[in-house]
Amino acid sequence: MSVFRDSRAGAGQRASRAWEASVPRLVVLTDRGAMKPAAAGHVLLCCLCLAFAYLCCAHRLWRSGDQEWQKLIMVHHWPATVCKEVENDCRNPPDYWTIHGLWPDKAEECNRSWHFHLEEIKDLLQDMKIYWPDVIHSSANRSSFWKHEWQKHGTCAAQLDALNSQKKYFGKGLDLYKGLALNSMLQKLGIIPSGNYYQIADIKDALAGLYGVIPKIQCLLPKQGEEVQTIGQIELCFTKDLQLRNCTEPGKPGKPVAVGQGAQPAGAAMNLQVCEDGPVFYPPPQETNR
Ligand SMILES: *[C@@H]1O[C@H](CO)[C@@H](O)[C@H](O)[C@H]1NC(C)=O
Ligand SMILES: *[C@@H]1O[C@H](CO)[C@@H](O)[C@H](O)[C@H]1NC(C)=O
Ligand SMILES: *[C@@H]1O[C@H](CO)[C@@H](O)[C@H](O)[C@H]1NC(C)=O
């Protein structure tokens, strides 16, 4: 073990010595500028090449390090729970699952200069207001929720040709939502809002059986005086080819991806977390509709 470490240290020292050896020459060049023109030109050219290569690589490393993502997460939220969570007096929240967002995992705010323009999705507005509404701020024509979703998530999703404009991003989000038809699927499975509790495993297994992939379900922790967690979000995941895939990572069957913190596009400042196994409350809309 120590031998291994020593030999690596040796190699490192050799490498850094080689690097130092090349540095003084560059310094000489800039300080004195007294080389033969041909040699000076040659070194300068090398120098420029190196600098350019370095900038190139650094840029690529930054991009792949920070902004590379693997899956798209179609996030549905249950408006009654959203309203309960923010303790906001939502007026008439929808009584169906709506879109929270279409989120690349592991990437946010990929292009801050790509601003949101409502006009670009004007053809979608009718559907947007029904299926992708701002549940918390329900005032008419408010578009800051969509702006937020675009800036935080859309600009990263736009790395895919299929999503590389606002119209495509929101349009595809609506398409995926309609294709999944979560509301009618849940109904078909007999999973309806109720004062009685469900088992989280039953919901998960039922959805997995139906869609053929493992979803991720997020809950609000029980508040004081409450017995159980409350279902808040259902996520279904897609590949970059927009095919359904497990929300879990390959090789970790059944275990939800541990990206709940940090890497995960934060549940929009929500205190949602992956549901615990056990009972869950699926609140009827009127329960929280004050
Ligand atoms: C960011 O978005 C702007 C506006 O659409 C675009 O011109 C620019 O090329 C984008 N930058 C990157 C790195 O994709
Ligand atoms: C919302 O926008 C529509 C279409 O642009 C317009 O007709 C309507 O008056 C607007 N409503 C409000 C409250 O601004
Ligand atoms: C999804 O997860 C299930 C259960 O762990 C596994 O059998 C299946 O192979 C996974 N599918 C993919 C595409 O990884």
Give the residue, by CA position, lying nearest to ligand 1 atom 3. Answer: 114
Mean pLDDT score across all residues of the chain: 78
Q: Which residues are catalytic?
A: 100, 149, 153
Q: Is 245 in the pocket of ligand 3 (CB under 6 A)?
A: yes
Distances (CA, A) of 219 to 54, 127, 170, 184: 46, 27, 25, 21
Compute the distance between CA of residue 133 and CA of residue 257 in angstroms, rounded to an integer. Answer: 27
Q: Is 140 in the pocket of ligand 2 (CB under 6 A)?
A: yes
**CA 253 to ligand 3: nearest atom:** 5
Pocket mutation for ligand 1, best pick of 64, 110, 112, 113 (most atoms within 8 Å of C-beta): 113
**CA 140 to ligand 2: nearest atom:** 13
Q: Which domains does the chain have, with CATH numbers?
A: 11-62 (no CATH), 72-281 (3.90.730.10)
Question: Among the listed ranges 10-19, 125-134, 204-213, 273-282, which one has the minimum average pLDDT value?
Answer: 10-19
- β 194-199/272-274 pair status: unpaired
Give the residue, by CA position, lying nearest to ligand 1 atom 6. Answer: 114
Question: Among the listed ranges 54-63, 154-163, 215-224, 231-240, which one has the minimum average pLDDT value?
Answer: 54-63
Question: Among the listed ranges 155-159, 239-243, 256-260, which one has the minimum average pLDDT value?
Answer: 256-260
